[in-house]
Amino acid sequence: MLLLFCFLFGLALLVSAIGFYRFIYFISVGYGFAITGMAIFLTVYFREQITLSFLLHSILLMLYGLRLGIFLLLREYKQTYRKEMDTAKRDTSSIRGFSKIGIWITVSLLYVLMISPLAFQGSMKNQNMFFPYLGVVIMIAGILLESIADRQKSAFKEQFPSSFCNVGLFRWSRCPNYFGEITFWTGNFITGFAVYRGVLPWIVAAAGFCGIVFVMLVSTVRLELKQEARYGAEEVFQAYARKVPLLFPFLPLYSLKKLSKITSLRI
């Protein structure tokens, strides 16, 4: 099992190395394609003992990674996103040398931990089908939520590039795409509930799940601060921010700005 995870880590390092071309790719394009690459590798590795639940789980991970990677690449060619790309380049221009290598290794390790439920499912005989299929259903819901939210925001920005998106799923959450991603990885974590035998598999899978949830929370704070700086003077936006939950629909949580102070992260 250790050798398998070493192969996965090497593959994640290889794919996410695209971040040396453009730093943001470590956590965007490299992220999506690393997940796809590892899912394909695990499917081939366990090809002689594939179950239906494993196959569905693997396909969803492949589709998720491909959709995300392609979406992020295509987004760069849109005029409405050029300004954000320029800002991202300036903000990350000072990250060089060992700092960049450290981030590369850290995110690659995170991607391996995140996909570990699929590895555990392939390596251990699973007699309980409830959790794998429950997880798959939740993953489908998550990928649909994120895909629809991304499409709605892109279409809105094409028409109103200087306005904040408040249509469709954005009426229920100010960050429905991030909520969809958390939902997807929650399902991924649940798929392995029947095969986490022993403390170590639980720790590995939980570390990956907690890691991506933390990343999404930090990304949510970053977006909240960016929107506040851009639209904060508008009464319409203030009313929207007071009414619509920041991340989780129906949960009256309207700000996570305190997270930036707690973590002392530059976001």
d(CA 40, CA 210): 24
Q: Hey, is 251 helix, strand or coil?
A: coil
Q: With contact defined as beta carbons under 8 Å apart, do 114 and 61 qualify?
A: no
Q: Which tokens is 21 given? A: 């071309």
The verdict on pTM exceeding 0.75 is yes
Length of the chain: 267
d(CA 176, CA 180): 6
Q: With contact defined as beta carbons under 8 Å apart, do 84 and 76 qualify?
A: no
d(CA 45, CA 36): 14
Domain residue spans of the chain: 2-263
Measured between its terminal Cα atoms, the distance across the chain in Å is 37
Q: pLDDT 10s digit of each residue in the chain, 267 long?
A: 889 999 999 999 999 999 999 888 999 999 999 999 999 999 999 999 889 999 999 999 999 999 999 988 888 777 666 666 666 666 666 677 888 999 999 999 999 999 999 999 998 876 678 999 999 999 999 999 999 999 999 999 989 988 999 999 999 999 999 999 999 999 999 999 989 988 999 999 999 999 999 999 999 999 999 999 999 999 999 999 999 999 999 999 999 887 766 554 443
Q: With contact defined as beta carbons under 8 Å apart, do 178 and 219 qualify?
A: yes
Closest Cα partner for 84 from 218, 200, 222, 262?
Answer: 222
